[in-house]
Amino acid sequence: MRRDLHQKRIIITGASSGIGHALALAAAAEGARLVLAARSEDKLEGLLQTITNAGGEAIAVPTDVTDSSDRERLFQAAVETYGGLDVLVNNAGIGAHGHFVDLESDVLRRVMEVNFFATAENCRHAIPLLARGEQPLIVNVSSMAGRRGVPAWSDYSASKFAVCGFSEALRAELARFDVDLMLVVPGLTRTSLAENLLAHKGRLPLHRDAGIPPEVVADRIVSGMKRNKKELRIEKDARLLLLVNWLCPRYVDWRMSKVVRKLYAEELNELRASKEAAPVAATAPH
């Protein structure tokens, strides 16, 4: 069954930039009624102005998705403005670049709070509303790094793996409410994620202009919503990596480890030299 987005009541988190911003414009072009959520009030207002000037229908609700009162206010705004909810898009996300051992413990907790726990709690708020909605749907945006762990993105990968596992389990649970769930697994995308990192201690350069434009991802998501897709892998880089990892995971491990050894060659050589120079402890006779 195809889903018509015209007049659908849709909440989009992380709507101020990147995929969320592009998705809001694409959904507005389909005639959806939007609730735009993000922390940046100025950016939200700019997006709202663009949509309404083009004849679209939307409201902006400045939201910190990790704050329970903000989440409650967000869903209440959807009910008060549109009378309910048909689609929830969990897109808000944050990252940290660097090896796990080099990052502070609070970085992992913050990444998990934004990327996973907020996603889960948004779903908890949404399900009773969606159960009464029209062609109801949850869209959870994960990442290629949520299907294959990536060095220097261990915290981010962990949070996105959690989103994938949660989404797969929740999809089956939602059958009792006749609510659908689509998991989105984008590859490298040109977003502002790299500009808003909690930490940047990785040695591999971040190519901010690499990857696919967020508008392409947004168009694919809209198409997937219409066709009621269960999982959407975007684009070739994500599909290729996951295919190779499925066929030969040891090869992918080897390739990634090779890159790490090259980047940390000096420290690795020093470590090996210190181990070789260390005296061997004498073994007491029995």
Which CATH number is 127's domain given? 3.40.50.720
| Full-model pTM | 0.88
Question: Hey, which residues does 231 pair with through a beta bridge?
Answer: 183
pLDDT score, position 182: 99
Average pLDDT for 90-97: 93
When pLDDT is cut at 50, 70 and 90, the band that residue 140 belongs to is very high
Asked whether residue 257 is assigned to any structural domain, the reply reads no
pLDDT for position 264: 81
User: Which pLDDT band holds residue 199 (cuts at 50, 70, 90)?
Assistant: confident
Per-residue model confidence (pLDDT) at position 193? 63
86 in any annotated domain: yes
Instruction: Using a pLDDT cut of 70, give the percent of the chain over it.
Output: 91
Which positions are annotated as active-site residues?
A: 156
pLDDT band at 188 (very low <50, low <70, confident <90, very high): confident
Indicate if the pLDDT at residue 282 is higher than 60: no
Structural domain including 84 reads 9-247
Answer whether residue 40 is part of any domain: yes
Burial of residue 167, with CB atoms counted within 10 A of its CB: 0-12 exposed, 13-18 middle, 19 or more buried: buried
| Cα separation, 139 vs 231, whole angstroms | 10
Count of domains for the chain: 1
Structure-model confidence comparison of residues 151 and 127, the more confident one = 127
Joined tokens for residue 102: 């080099």
Residue 258 in domain: no
The pLDDT, as a whole number, for residue 195 is 62
Q: What is the pLDDT of residue 284?
A: 58
Of 101 and 236, which is predicted with more confidence?
101
Where residue 189 falls among pLDDT bands split at 50, 70, 90?
Answer: confident
Kindly tell me if the per-residue pLDDT of 273 is higher than 90: no
Where residue 142 falls among pLDDT bands split at 50, 70, 90?
very high
Within 8 A by CB and 6+ apart from 160, the residues are: 115, 142, 143, 145, 146
Amino acid at 57: E
pLDDT of residue 210: 66
Q: Residue 203: pLDDT above 80?
A: no
Asked whether the beta carbons of 12 and 34 are under 8 A apart, the reply is: yes
Question: From the CA atom positions of the chain, what is the Rg in Å?
Answer: 22
235 cis-preceded (ω within 30 degrees of 0): yes
Q: What is the token pair recorded at 50?
A: 């663009």
* Nearest residue to 99 via CA among 144, 156, 153: 153
In a domain, 269, yes or no: no
CA within 13 Å, CB half, 50 = 17
Domain presence at residue 76: yes
Q: What is the pLDDT of residue 46?
A: 98
Once rounded to an integer, what is the mean pLDDT over residues 151-180? 97
Reported as a pLDDT band with limits 50, 70 and 90, residue 131 is very high
Helix ranges (H only) for the chain are: 18-29, 41-53, 68-82, 105-112, 118-130, 154-173, 214-227, 236-247, 249-263, 265-277
Dihedral sign computed on CA atoms, order 103, 204, 90, 249: negative
Give pLDDT, residue 207: 56
Q: What angle do CA 225, 231, 237 make, to 5 degrees?
A: 110
Residue 278 covered by a domain: no
How many Å separate Cα 268 from the centre of its chain?
Answer: 33
Give the per-residue pLDDT at 251: 92
SS3 call for 285? coil
Name the band, by pLDDT with cuts 50, 70 and 90, for residue 235: confident
Would the pLDDT of 19 be above 70?
Answer: yes
Confidence of residue 286 (pLDDT cuts 50, 70, 90): low
What pLDDT was estimated at residue 190?
76
Q: Is 48 a domain residue?
A: yes
CA–CA distance, 197 with 240 (Å, rounded to integer):
26
What's the CA gap between 93 and 274, in Å, rounded? 41
Start-to-end C-alpha separation, the chain: 77
Half-sphere exposure of 35 (CA within 13 A, CB side): 28
Residue 279 — pLDDT band, cuts 50, 70, 90?
Answer: low
